[in-house]
Structure 1
Amino acid sequence: MIGIVEVDPSDEAALRAYWETEQTAIRADRPHALLRTWDMLLKDAQSPGRYYRRRLLAARDGDVTVATAEIGGFVEDNTHLADLEINVLPDRRREGIGRAVYDDAMRRCAEQGRTTVCGELHVPMGTEPVAAAPYAFATAMGLAEVHAEDHLVLPLPVDDGHVAVLRTAAEAKAAEYEIITWGDVCPDDYIEAFCALRTRMDSDVPIGEVDYQPVVYTVERLRTSEERVAKLYGSVVSAARRRRDGVFAGYSQVYVPHGEPDVLQDDTLVMPDHRGRRLGTLLKLATLGVLTEEYPASTSIHTWTDPDNHAMQRTNRDFGFRAVERMYEMQVKRS
């Protein structure tokens, strides 16, 4: 008899079983997955954030956790929206467990007033999504594809000669800009400009038909985010600033999980008036330089890019990123 329960974050044994099941289920299908560590889950579950909260569900067969679900949602913005991820152990699939977990999670979303539910799934490159079991499951549950991104991976270190070629070509087109970098905390002198860039990124990032409304980054929101992120990651931020007037033209940000070799490339934004000057390349070169010096144990960078974002796809290819799988954002709306 399968029972579905919400995991008590203070129960480390139950939380550990949840994490181990999640890890096993994802790794069975995705050799290139970038997964959260045990320390990440523990800290996140036991110290929930101010702006985003998670609920963890476990499907148990006796004392064994055979499937997991995570329901995430914003607290102040986009309160109609929930993120849902479901994972079932490989040897327990096709028993109706995934459907039972989905139904239970959707009931909980409805109780919270979450009328739109989104979930991500990944399919190996070259595989038609309709032929992949996760895609078939999502569509059978009534979700529809609303967005897609390529999961790209760059092995580290990058050859010094290749870096030099990229830098020479980019600097020739962007001489009027300087690149500045910082770590976990944005300097006070840049904070207002950085908030404006983060707000613009939230509006500009391609999300297809996902039912999400961009948020405004205030200084308070950014500082709260920095404090929380620093518990889980080291951050590296680069920003492009025009020399003659100090106007910020863009930024790039990467996260380095504490004690882990795989790096997450998050945002890269160049403001519209400053595009066409290879600033995206310079920004990524700057974060790569910091990674090389301060995080030499890093072995790869992972990033996700819209297939139709041709400029960023080209920049990533220039560095040597290769696509390993495609992420599909699936969505369902309920009244």
Structure 2
Amino acid sequence: MATTTLHIVEVDPHDDHLLRAFWDNEQVAQRAERRDPVLRTYDALTATMRDPSPYYGRVLLAAVDGDELIGGVDVSWPLQDNTHLGEIEVNVRPDRWRQGIGRLLHETAIGRLRAQSRTTVIGEACESPDGDGPAVPFATALGYASSHLEHHLVLALPADVEELPPDAAYTVVTWAERCPDEHVAAYVAMRNQMETDVPIGDLELEPVLLDEERVRVSEARTARSYQRLVAAALHDAGGAMVGYSELFLPHGETYAQQDDTLVMPDHRGSRLGLRLKQANLALLHRDHPERKLLHTWTAPGNAAMIRTNERFGFRVVERMHEMQRKI
């Protein structure tokens, strides 16, 4: 198909036809070369675009040839923290790869970020465990360098995991969706500890420190597209909350995502992170038998978490590079 009619348009979030075409293209492009990708649902995309976050700016740009959408780029930028930064994700229909469409979308996105006075841009590029796949070479050709690496792992559910005996020093509590008011101050403190502890390699990122209002906004927005399950540990000597682990269950899907797991520094080495993950897994097995796969991501240098994941039986399915370049 000739590209003489190719042009870039901004996607109106309320244009159901164009927004659906953008999402369809994203699905096809990501699934062409990836195994077990975790992709946003259409409902999650519409919720994000039609009720924008107070903390992020975002625009979707589409490459249209005639009346066909053949590529798209999601462009976003933080509004309150890391105001030097922009994020880009380019997706092109596989039968139109290597025709310059991705480069055109990328350069258009860079123009939008320049208009927002951004100086650094990051994006994810995934490849097989052996290093195969087109995403990393494409980003490298655009001037990006891999600045952080994580392994994407999956666990088939239900999982047969040997449970640890209870630890008399801790009590595990759980909740869904919204942190109970009596725990929210401790939860905010742990989330901020996670922000400072999480490995980021050479990414030019400053920790995003939260307060109760921002946590409550995040909980409400997340609940539109995901169910959140949280297991947290209370230290019985004084009742302080000293660790948490959380799962996200996309609405209408058959998988779950293991997100943060944190134990506060003074309580590490007690296998508390493993107990918290086990508590969440028990909730999954009991209340959500429709979930057949659990995804997680771990930096290859995080030895403690790698041991925990191996004990559960997770297996690596791909490598995820955080790519970064200057604008």
With normalisation by structure 2, the TM-score equals: 0.97
SS of 1:259's partner is coil
CA distance in 2, matches of 1:12, 1:37: 14
Partner of 2:163: 166
Structure 2 residue 75 is matched with structure 1 residue 74 = no
> Which residue, 20, 23, 44 being the options, matches 1:19?
23
SS of 1:33's partner is coil
Letter in 2 for 1:166: E
Instruction: Map 1:79-118 to 2 at 5 A.
Output: 79-118=83-122
Measure how far apart 1:306 and its partner are: 0.2
Q: How many percent identity over aligned positions? A: 48
Instruction: Map 1:203-282 to 2 at 5 A.
Output: 203-282=196-275
Structure 2 residue 160 is matched with structure 1 residue 156 = no
- CA RMSD of the aligned region, Å? 1.1
CA contact (8 A) 1:148 1:328 kept: yes
Structure 2 residue 168 is matched with structure 1 residue 175 = yes
CA contact (8 A) 2:127 2:134 kept: no
Measure how far apart 1:282 and its partner are: 0.5
> Which residue, 55, 58, 67 being the options, matches 2:62?
58
CA distance in 2, matches of 1:191, 1:151: 30
Letter in 2 for 1:215: V
CA distance in 1, matches of 2:57, 2:239: 37
CA contact (8 A) 1:166 1:281 kept: no
Structure 2 residue 192 is matched with structure 1 residue 199 = yes
Q: Which deviations, in whole Å up to 9, do the C-alpha atoms of 1:134-156 show, x marking residues without a partner?
A: 11111111111100000000110
Letter in 1 for 2:318: E
Aligned residues: 323
SS of 2:164's partner is helix
CA distance in 2, matches of 1:25, 1:322: 24
CA contact (8 A) 2:25 2:71 kept: yes
SS of 2:163's partner is helix
Structure 2 residue 46 is matched with structure 1 residue 45 = no
Q: Which deviations, in whole Å up to 9, do the C-alpha atoms of 1:58-113 show, x marking residues without a partner?
A: 11111111111001221111121111100111110111111111111101110011
Letter in 1 for 2:37: A
CA contact (8 A) 2:55 2:78 kept: yes
CA distance in 1, matches of 2:81, 2:22: 28
Partner of 2:148: 147
Letter in 2 for 1:242: H
Letter in 1 for 2:98: R
With normalisation by structure 1, the TM-score equals: 0.94
CA distance in 1, matches of 2:29, 2:137: 17
Structure 2 residue 322 is matched with structure 1 residue 333 = no
Structure 2 residue 37 is matched with structure 1 residue 33 = yes
CA distance in 2, matches of 1:265, 1:82: 25
Partner of 1:323: 316
SS of 2:38's partner is coil
CA distance in 2, matches of 1:214, 1:245: 29
CA distance in 1, matches of 2:256, 2:291: 7
Report which of the two has the higher share of helix: 1
Letter in 2 for 1:134: A
Q: Which deviations, in whole Å up to 9, do the C-alpha atoms of 1:265-296 show, x marking residues without a partner?
A: 11001112111111111010111111112211
Measure how far apart 1:53 and its partner are: 3.1
Q: Which deviations, in whole Å up to 9, do the C-alpha atoms of 1:238-262 show, x marking residues without a partner?
A: 1111101112221101100111111
CA contact (8 A) 1:143 1:331 kept: yes
CA contact (8 A) 1:195 1:219 kept: yes
In structure 1, list runs of 5 or more residues that go unmatched: none
SS of 1:167's partner is coil
Measure how far apart 1:167 and its partner are: 2.1
Partner of 2:127: 123
Measure how far apart 1:166 and its partner are: 3.2
